[in-house]
Structure formats: C-alpha cells, structure tokens
Amino acid sequence: MGEGIDGIVVSNTTVRRPQALRSPTALVQEEGGLSGAPLRDLSNHVLSRFYRYTKGRIPLIGVGGIFSGADAYAKIRAGASLVQLYTALAYEGPFAIRRFELELAHCLERDGYRNVAEAVGADHR
C-alpha cells in the first residue's frame, strides 16, 4: 500500500446535520456541505479510521472544524501529519494562524513532544 500516493486529505464537508446544530431550522435543512465546528468530531473519527487502516504509512491531512491549536493537536494525535482549515479563516482571518501555532506548541510541550512528528498518531499507541 502507498505506492504513488503522497497523502490523503481527510476529510471535507459533511451532508449530515449533527443534532447539536443551533441554527434556525431553515438553515439546518439547507442542502449542501456543512463545514466548521459541528464537523470536528465526525472528521476526527474518520481520520482515526484512515490512520488505523493505513497504519501511518501514508501522510494524512486532517481537515474539519479546526478553530484552535488544540483542535489541530487532536487531529495530529488522531493521525494527521498536516492540517488544513477553511471556516476558521473565514470567521477569524489569517492572523488566527499565529494563535493556533502557539496553542499547538503549548499542547506539544505539555505532553512532552519535541515536534509535531512525534505526536502523529499518538492516540493509537
């Protein structure tokens, strides 16, 4: 497994509508992909499954509901070597990235990791 595959982006938006959504019903019932915080747990679950299946042999790019360094860290622990975000940029702008970096560095240091690579897939060990 793995030949010819540089990485897998996991995942994208969801067509599901999690119970916890608080938006007006008309918005909740709109068709199309849902992004952002309500997607976080779903995408982390899918990411974990991909990591277990690929056994860490293919770099995974974790996407879905990242709004903090701790969110990025959760994806890294679940198996992401890289993370990608979209909705947080729309809400908070590009300067949020610096905050996320600092928060992520704090999470890594707190748990005794010297770098991101050491923490990739930590939830599976």
Residue whose CB is less far from ligand FMN, 10 or 113: 10
Q: Is residue 36 at the binding interface for ligand FMN, with CB under 6 A as the rule?
A: yes
Residue whose CB is less far from ligand FMN, 47 or 113: 47
Tell me, rounded to whole angstroms, the distance of Cα 101 from its chain centroid: 14
Residue whose CB is less far from ligand FMN, 30 or 111: 30
The one-letter amino acid code at 89 reads L
Q: Is residue 39 at the binding interface for ligand FMN, with CB under 6 A as the rule?
A: yes
Q: Is residue 74 at the binding interface for ligand FMN, with CB under 6 A as the rule?
A: no
List the one residue out of 39, 113, 107 whose CA is nearest residue 72: 107
Q: Which of 8, 87, 105, 123 binds ligand FMN (CB under 6 A)?
A: 87
Q: Which of 62, 64, 69, 79 binds ligand FMN (CB under 6 A)?
A: 64
Round to whole Å and give the CA distance between 74 and 111: 12
List contacts with ligand FMN (CB under 6 A).
Answer: 12-13, 35-36, 39, 63-66, 85-88
